[in-house]
Chain A
Amino acid sequence: MKQESIAGNLKKLAIFLALTAVILILMRYLFPEQSALSLEVMRDYSKEVALIFPPVLVLMGLADVWIPEDMVKQYLGKTSGWRGILLSLFLGTLPTGPLFIAFPIASEMLKKGARIANVVVFLGAWASLKMPQIGVEIQFLGLEFAFYRAGLTFIAVICIALITDKLLKRSEISWGKILKE
């Protein structure tokens, strides 16, 4: 059973890579100018994802076996209130990679019973309140701009999360489709 599903997933990946190769070759012939730039961007992103995604997966796997659902519910669940929001905010600001790496983590949080508001805060903080990113921002755009943007984004992230939480019920969310077995 397990073996089959590994083979199945590998097959999907192989098909996907073949398709990608076809697209890249087409790009090269149809848009030679754009092709060079896009390859460069893809190389940079691939490097980042290749370095960051495996350890994130391992940490997710470890979290899965070691962190009991009750604990997630207690710290990030429905009744976690402002402490849950602050904890999610803190988890999101830890330096890591691009936002799409955070989606699987967010999905796991939901699955284990985290509140929708907390998951959205986590994603918002991950996206735009990263500490190293703010450092570079100060360097290029000045302290004043970076300070206002981070402060306003902080408020906005919490507003977005609370509004989303109010609008949606956990029961009507269909999350984690590709991670379910």
Chain B
Amino acid sequence: MLVALIINIIAIGTLVYSFTQSSRKSIQALKTALMKGLKLAPWMVGIIVLIGIVLSFVPPEVIERYLGGEMTIYQVVAAALIGTVSMIPNLITLPLAGSLIDSGASYTTIAAFLTTLTMVGFVTMPLEIKLLGKKITFWRNLLAFFFAIIIAVIIGALM
């Protein structure tokens, strides 16, 4: 919430400063912001609904069942896949990851899960395609998935 407060203060401050420089340009900026906001709003609503639905079918208990316990290569891939399809707020994920480690899960698995969770977004892909094009979206996500597994394996070796 502190982050939200800071961004709002920065935005308002910048806007006020902008108005002191040129009100014509500032009004133009606000119009642009409004139009973009209206265009993007349905996407934001859609993504939020999808995130909610996906998470409710892949709840923390299920993740715990798959990611806890003895590490296998399947488990690492499964962890990366679960991280890919779900979008869980960090406030839930990091404590969950911590408790999984405490209950015996391997660092490799957790690293794979956390990395794809943040870098690869399945639910948000339609929006990413619309805004950045199919090619960037495809390569960015695919490469992030593979690098997540590499990162996980190296962390497993280091720790």
Residues of chain A touching chain B, judged by Cβ–Cβ distance below 8 Å, are 2, 5-6, 9-10, 12-13, 16-17, 20, 23-24, 27, 31, 34-35, 37-42, 44-46, 48-49, 51-62, 64-66, 95-100, 103-104, 106-107, 110, 116, 119-120, 123-124, 127-128, 132-133, 136-137, 139-141, 144-145, 148-149, 152-153, 156-157, 159-160, 163-164, 167-168, 172-179, 181
Which B residues from 119 to 146 make CB contacts under 8 A with A? 119, 121, 124, 127-128, 130-136, 139-140, 143-144
| A58-B150 contact, Cβ under 8 Å, with A6-B38, A53-B37, A104-B36 | no
Cβ–Cβ contact A60 & B154, under 8 A: no
B56 touches A152 (CB 8 A): no
Task: Please tell me if the beta carbons of B55 and A64 are within 8 angstroms of each other in the complex.
Answer: no
Docked complex Cα distance between A37 and B60 (Å): 11
Are B32 and A61 interface neighbours, CB within 8 A?
A: yes
Contact of A23 with B124 in the complex, beta carbons under 8 Å: no
CA distance A99 to B56 in the complex (A): 20
Minimum Cβ distance to chain A for residue B107 (Å): 6
Per DSSP, are chain A's interface residues mostly helix, strand or loop, or mixed? helix
Instruction: Specify which of A9, A38, A124, A181 is in contact with B53 (CB 8 Å cutoff).
Output: A38
Contact assessment for B32 and A64 in the assembled complex, using a CB-CB cutoff below 8 Å? yes
The residue on A at minimum CB distance from B17 is A62
Contacting pair A132 B3 (CB below 8 A): yes
Interface size on B, residues (CB 8 A): 82
- The residue among B90, B95, B150 with the most chain A CB atoms within 10 A of its own CB is B90
Whether B52 is near chain A, meaning CB under 8 Å from some CB there, is yes
Interface members, chain B 39-59 (any A CB < 8 Å): 39-49, 51-53, 55-57, 59
Report the minimal beta-carbon distance from B8 to chain A, rounded to whole angstroms. Answer: 5
Partner pick for B37 among A54, A123, A144, A173, CB 8 A cutoff: A54
Contact present for B30 and A51 (CB under 8 Å)? no
Q: Are A152 and B155 in contact (CB under 8 A)?
A: yes
Determine whether the beta carbon of B18 is less than 8 Å from that of A66.
Answer: yes
B114 contacts A by Cβ under 8 Å: yes
Q: Is the CB of B159 within 8 A of A144?
A: yes
With contacts A60-B36, A141-B94, A148-B155 taken as known, whether A65 is within 8 angstroms of B47 at the C-beta atoms is no
Give Cα distance in the complex from A119 to B131, angstroms.
Answer: 12
Kindly provide the distance from the CB of A102 to the nearest chain B CB, expressed in whole angstroms. Answer: 10
Choose from B39, B118, B134 the contact partner of A9 (Cβ within 8 Å). Answer: B39
15 contacts between A and B (CB under 8 A): A9-B35, A16-B45, A16-B46, A45-B51, A49-B48, A51-B4, A55-B11, A64-B32, A96-B7, A99-B118, A104-B36, A149-B111, A153-B119, A160-B144, A179-B36
Chain B hits for A58, CB < 8 A: 11, 14-15, 29-30, 33
Nearest-CB distance from B46 to chain A (Å)?
7
Separation of A157 and B46 alpha carbons in the complex (Å): 28
